[in-house]
């Protein structure tokens, strides 16, 4: 095993800091094998449509966001021989990184707008690039590859394209904005490259006017189109905001990268709710006006070249509890009522899945993973959902609502095995005492949202669940439960394995048929990232970033510690050894 330390500005001596500050943003260092860079092949459109199994070219391995790899060197039979091959120290700060790998080179966006290119077999640094910004470090999901470009979003709302062999800057585009808010704009999701465009979602949680998605020209970086995720006055959907002015409309944040269907020429994004819920709580008595708040909690299908909205589907209208439907959109081929359909499958924080026709947005079916008590009925034709009376905020009392607003599921993406039709979802079994209003907090109604043990987990003190469901039959295959919630995305492989990391700093490989734990390791810090697998010289690797937790993991630390009564427990006795990228292979 080889450990390599990447420079961390917090621990550099003052003289070294002066040198770094004198360098331009295109400063690099090269210590690894330059032949690796020289032999890098261009990442073509065809590669992105059909990624080579050895590489990890996109956020969730492919345009369909499956989080599944066809690599099968590491199997149920030999995974117990998995060992640490190498690790690299990373910068401190919040991050949810996804490494990308191409032709033996691993690219990773570290916390402080630092892009690292490394030898994927050893971690040796090939080059690094730092975008200088006065903005505070913020969590981001990752980057994109195309041609000779590595494309990265930055903390100060720039999208930068770098040469993949040298790290030199090819173009740098600042995303223009006109508003500000208490929680400002951010670029959290990785870019998506499709049809000659770089698509980048923008979060705008508490910014008047809400979020948006931009399309940048791949060769020049010039913004070509912009789609507003909150309907502006005069735009379709404007009548769904209860007749409030634009400056009171916010949200619609785009936290997660989109999925893309080359066959249909559509890219699919999930959009977050608004936190300004008070003006939407009750519908105004104006003909033609409602309080659905489009396009929050919706799937939108756009043309990548133009930003044209082809269809949308709102999963839950007028969300009063921050139960985002913003996460990954799996694109799967599935028999529905005897007919093969291309399906968009996605779930929000309630771990309630909707399946939509990818071409039209027509509702097909739903799957409830058994966690929530907020939706009491779903129309079998339209998918329209009935909200429990207990889940309507009021000023008098609170109700036990499941899940907690931190999410039964959150950004920790599910993985989908297209061969077995199995979906693997990380879940937290934690509810909340919801209400009454007027208590402060993040929603403008001031509704209380106090975490509480779920009826399922409270009896045995197990708050984490990993669940496998057969999407074709819609039947539960297995349920694996643990004390602490999962904190990484799921990674499934053709070796019959599912890899998931947890709050207790463990990383496990489960048998995808039964959920039995076949291998586990202590990472030394919390894995709050998207694990990947790749192969170089016929050797398969598993990579996971640790030690850069966001607010999501920190909330779970306090919550679970409180549930377990403090003292010596899995949530209070964490090592927190610091951020690193850890890479495993068969010994």
Q: Bridge partners of 540?
A: 535
User: Which has the closest alpha carbon to 98: 501, 548, 530?
Assistant: 530
Cα-flanking dihedrals φ and ψ of residue 498, to 5°? -130, 125
pTM of the model: 0.94
Q: How many CA atoms lie within 13 A of 229 on its CB side?
A: 34
- CB contact at 8 A, 294 and 252: no
Q: Residue 141 corresponds to which tokens in the numbers above?
A: 């999901």
Where residue 440 falls (left for φ over 0; alpha for ψ -120 to 50; beta otherwise) is: left
With tokens 């599910």, the residue in question is 414
Calculate the alpha carbon distances from 262 to 57, 101, 214, 235, 498 in Å: 16, 22, 19, 28, 27
10: helix, coil or strand? helix
pLDDT by 10s per residue, the chain, length 587: 444 444 333 333 333 333 333 333 444 555 567 799 999 999 999 999 999 999 999 999 999 999 999 999 999 999 999 999 999 999 999 999 999 999 999 999 999 999 999 999 999 999 999 999 888 888 999 999 999 999 999 999 999 999 999 999 999 999 999 888 887 899 999 999 999 999 999 999 899 999 999 999 999 999 999 999 999 999 999 999 999 999 999 999 999 999 999 999 999 999 999 999 999 999 999 999 999 999 999 999 999 999 999 999 999 999 999 999 999 999 999 999 999 999 999 999 999 999 999 999 999 999 999 999 999 999 999 999 999 999 999 999 999 999 999 999 999 999 999 999 999 999 999 999 999 999 998 999 999 999 999 987 767 889 999 999 999 999 999 999 999 999 999 999 999 999 999 999 999 999 999 999 999 999 999 999 999 999 999 999 999 999 998 899 999 999 999 999 888 899 988 999 999 999 999 98
Q: Bridge partners of 86?
A: 2, 583
- CB contact at 8 A, 507 and 544: yes
Residue 241 CB partners (closer than 8 Å, separation 6+): 230, 231, 249, 280, 291, 293, 294
State how far the Cα of 189 lies from the Cα of 153, in Å rounded to an integer.
8
539-569 burial, b at 16+ Cβ within 10 Å, e below that, comes to ebbbbbbbbbbbebbebbbebbbebbeeeeb
306: helix, coil or strand? coil
With tokens 């209400």, the residue in question is 435
Residue 317 CB partners (closer than 8 Å, separation 6+): 240, 291, 292, 293, 297
> Other C-beta atoms within 10 Å of 119: how many?
21
Calculate the alpha carbon distances from 51 to 3, 151, 360, 542 in Å: 29, 18, 26, 17
* Per-residue pLDDT, 12: 34
Calculate the alpha carbon distances from 407 to 183, 249, 258, 553 in Å: 20, 23, 20, 11
Sign of the Cα pseudo-torsion (71, 76, 78, 79, in order):
positive
First and final C-alpha spacing in the chain: 10
> Other C-beta atoms within 10 Å of 41: how many?
11
State how far the Cα of 492 lies from the Cα of 498, in Å rounded to an integer.
4
User: Which has the closest alpha carbon to 347: 273, 402, 270, 281?
Assistant: 270
State how far the Cα of 500 lies from the Cα of 479, in Å rounded to an integer.
14
State how far the Cα of 307 lies from the Cα of 42, in Å rounded to an integer.
26
With tokens 């020429």, the residue in question is 265
State how far the Cα of 185 lies from the Cα of 155, in Å rounded to an integer.
9
Indicate the CATH number of 175-318 among 3.40.50.1370, 2.40.10.480, 3.20.20.80, 3.30.70.260.
Answer: 2.40.10.480
* Per-residue pLDDT, 461: 87
State how far the Cα of 31 lies from the Cα of 268, in Å rounded to an integer.
40
With tokens 């095993």, the residue in question is 1
State how far the Cα of 287 lies from the Cα of 548, in Å rounded to an integer.
49
287-321 burial, b at 16+ Cβ within 10 Å, e below that, comes to eeebbbbbbbbbbbbbbbeebebbbbbbbbbbbbb
Residue 360 CB partners (closer than 8 Å, separation 6+): 311
Radius of gyration, CA atoms only, the chain: 23
- CB contact at 8 A, 532 and 56: yes
State how far the Cα of 27 lies from the Cα of 32, in Å rounded to an integer.
16
Residues in the chain: 587
State how far the Cα of 108 lies from the Cα of 6, in Å rounded to an integer.
12
- CB contact at 8 A, 528 and 550: yes
State how far the Cα of 303 lies from the Cα of 119, in Å rounded to an integer.
36
State how far the Cα of 192 lies from the Cα of 260, in Å rounded to an integer.
8
Indicate the domain borders of the chain: 175-318
């Amino acid at each position: 095993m080889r450990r390599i330390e990447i420079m961390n500005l917090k621990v550099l001596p003052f003289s070294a800091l002066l040198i770094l500050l004198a360098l331009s943003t295109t400063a690099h260092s090269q210590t690894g094998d330059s032949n690796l860079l020289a032999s890098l092949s261009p990442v073509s459109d065809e590669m992105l449509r059909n990624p080579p199994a050895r590489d990890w070219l996109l956020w969730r391995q492919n345009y369909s966001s499956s989080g599944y790899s066809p690599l099968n060197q590491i199997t149920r039979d030999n995974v117990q021989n998995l060992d640490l091959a190498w690790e690299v120290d990373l910068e401190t700060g919040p991050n949810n990184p996804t490494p990308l790998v191409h032709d033996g080179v691993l690219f990773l966006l570290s916390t402080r707008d630092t892009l690292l290119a490394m030898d994927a077999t050893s971690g040796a640094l090939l080059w690094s690039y730092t975008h200088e910004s006065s903005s505070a470090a913020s969590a981001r999901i990752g980057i994109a590859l195309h041609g000779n470009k590595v494309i990265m979003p930055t903390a100060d709302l720039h999208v930068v394209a770098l040469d993949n062999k040298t790290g030199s800057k090819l173009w740098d585009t600042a995303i223009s904005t006109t508003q500000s808010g208490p929680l400002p704009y951010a670029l959290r999701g990785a870019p998506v490259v499709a049809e000659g465009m770089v698509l980048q979602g923008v979060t705008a949680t508490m910014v008047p006017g809400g979020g948006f998605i931009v399309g940048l020209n791949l060769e020049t970086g010039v913004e070509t189109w912009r789609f507003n995720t909150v309907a502006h006055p005069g735009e379709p959907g404007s009548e769904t905001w209860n007749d409030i002015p634009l400056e009171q409309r916010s949200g619609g944040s785009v936290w997660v990268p989109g999925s893309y269907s080359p066959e249909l020429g559509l890219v699919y994004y999930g959009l977050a709710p608004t936190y300004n819920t008070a003006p939407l709580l009750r519908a105004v008595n104006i003909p033609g006006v409602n309080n659905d708040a489009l396009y929050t909690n919706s799937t939108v299908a756009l043309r990548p070249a133009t930003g044209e909205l082809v269809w949308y589907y709102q999963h839950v209208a007028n969300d009063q509890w921050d139960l985002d439907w913003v996460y990954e959109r799996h694109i799967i081929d599935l028999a529905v009522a005897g007919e093969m359909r291309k399906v968009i499958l996605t779930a929000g924080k309630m771990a309630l899945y909707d399946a939509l026709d990818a071409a039209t947005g027509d509702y097909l079916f739903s799957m409830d993973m058994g966690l929530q008590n907020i939706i009491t009925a779903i129309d079998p034709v339209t998918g329209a959902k009935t909200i429990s009376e207990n889940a309507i905020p009021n000023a008098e009392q609170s109700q036990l609502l499941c899940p907690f607003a931190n999410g039964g599921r959150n950004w920790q993406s599910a993985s989908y095995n297209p061969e077995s039709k199995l979906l693997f979802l990380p879940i937290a079994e934690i509810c909340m005492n919801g209400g009454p209003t007027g208590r402060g907090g993040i929603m403008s109604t001031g509704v209380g949202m106090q975490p509480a043990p779920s009826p399922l987990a409270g009896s045995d003190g197990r708050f984490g669940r990993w669940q496998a469901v057969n999407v074709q039959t819609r039947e539960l295959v297995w349920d694996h439960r643990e004390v602490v919630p999962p904190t990484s995305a799921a990674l499934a492989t053709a070796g019959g394995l599912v890899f998931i990391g947890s709050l207790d700093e463990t990383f496990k490989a489960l048998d995808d048929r039964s959920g039995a734990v076949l291998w586990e390791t202590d990472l030394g810090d919390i894995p709050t990232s998207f694990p990947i697998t790749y192969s170089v010289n016929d050797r398969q690797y598993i990579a996971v970033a640790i030690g850069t937790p966001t607010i999501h993991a920190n909330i779970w630390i306090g919550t679970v510690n409180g549930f377990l009564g403090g003292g010596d427990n899995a949530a209070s006795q964490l090592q927190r050894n610091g951020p690193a990228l850890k890479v495993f292979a068969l010994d």
